[in-house]
Amino acid sequence: MNAPVHLAAPPSPTELVALARSRALPDRQRLLLGVAALCDAAPPTPGDPGHAVLGEIFLLLAGQAERDIRRTLSECLAEAAWAPPALINMLALDEIEIARPIIARSPVLDAPALLRVLIETTLDHQIEVARRPDLPNDVCEAVVDLGQMAVLSALASNPTARIGDNALHRLIEASEKIAALRSPLARHPRLNAAMAERLYAYVGDALRQSIGERFRVDDPDLASAVAHAARQATPAPPEAHAAPPITDAERQEMDRRLVAKLKASNQLRPGYLIRAIREGRLSLFQHALAELGGFSAEQVRRAMHSESANPLLLACASVGIDRAVFPALLQEIRRLNNGLPKGDLPASVLTRGLGAAAPSAAA
């Protein structure tokens, strides 16, 4: 973990006024760091009337700042409890070198904000979320729902995550296919004897010895259960290190659970549909579209396989997808969906604008 960066001494009020009057970009950046230094020296209290105004000032100035300034600001504010939430959320969604200190350490970043980072950013951001100390269980569950091997490994290796029994059981189940999970899970502080018994069947001799010593496998009942689990395990060939692909049914269920969690935390937005398609996750797109638009799974399926692009166009419009975005989105959907839906986009509809459509438009 990098040491926190400390801001320079706060500028004088005269210097701040001079910087505020300047329109030059370097002066705007110095003003941003100057205001941050002033707040660091005399932290404002969240809830004070001026705190919201301070947040607006920070957002305005940070939006004009260059990358290096945003990175310095991120490192400076990573542990600041007084930092405006809107600013912290913005920095957490920035490129990973800027976002990393915020995701790792900011006390302002709560569970809904972490879920938003998890769904709207890159794999590197997701790994950083999974590594965050004291990660809440609902975010742990969302990490498991993602099903990304590198992110799951980061979560399994996070001993401080407040992961519940359900998510830990699911990680152990995943370790049957993902060998990289086995070692961190065998040493996980939340592993109990029942979980260890299941994990025992998937690991090699060294980890079996470690599990046996930790959970006293010499106990007759546990020893018998562990021996049975070991006999049931089918050893993989030495060269088979790659995880078998997740079945379609497993992927559908994981996507359904993830969308439900996003909906419950008010983090499911139209932009997530675009991201799902860009990541090649057609099933996730369909579940999210159904949830956002109040459609049934069958309505979305028919729109996705129609002889016309119109039903899908209207369904996307009804949840807020901009008309300027839809043609490129449709092209990506067809690439993932065997050329479906077919048909040209009506020029008259595009000229007028998509507008809103009732959920039945996807029928």
Structure tokens that stand for 332 in this block: 């990506």
Dihedral of the CA atoms 69, 71, 73, 76 (nearest 10)? -140
Q: In this predicted structure, what is the pLDDT of residue 50?
A: 62
Residue type at 103 in one-letter notation: I
Sign of the Cα torsion 82, 87, 89, 92 reads negative
pTM, two decimals, is 0.65
DSSP track, 191-226:
--HHHHHHHHTTS-HHHHHHHHHHHTTTSHHHHHHH
Please state the rounded mean pLDDT for residues 341-350. 73
Distances (CA, A) of 169 to 38, 144, 199: 48, 10, 9
- List pLDDT tens digits, range 127-162: 999 999 999 999 999 999 988 999 999 999 999 999
Q: In this predicted structure, what is the pLDDT of residue 114?
A: 95
Distance separating alpha carbons of residues 277 and 198, to the nearest angstrom: 36
Distance separating alpha carbons of residues 23 and 21, to the nearest angstrom: 7
| Residue 129 or residue 329, greater confidence | 129
Q: In this predicted structure, what is the pLDDT of residue 1?
A: 45
- List pLDDT tens digits, range 41-96: 777 776 676 667 777 878 777 877 888 888 888 998 999 998 999 889 999 999 99
Count helices and strands (H / E) in the chain: 22, 0
Residue the block writes with tokens 């900011």: 106
Q: In this predicted structure, what is the pLDDT of residue 286?
A: 95
| Residue 16 or residue 66, greater confidence | 66
Q: In this predicted structure, what is the pLDDT of residue 60?
A: 78
Average pLDDT, the chain: 82
Quick one: pLDDT band at residue 271, thresholds 50, 70, 90? confident
Q: In this predicted structure, what is the pLDDT of residue 41?
A: 76
Using N-to-C axis directions, what is the helix angle for 282-293 and 248-264, rounded to 10°? 40
DSSP 319: T
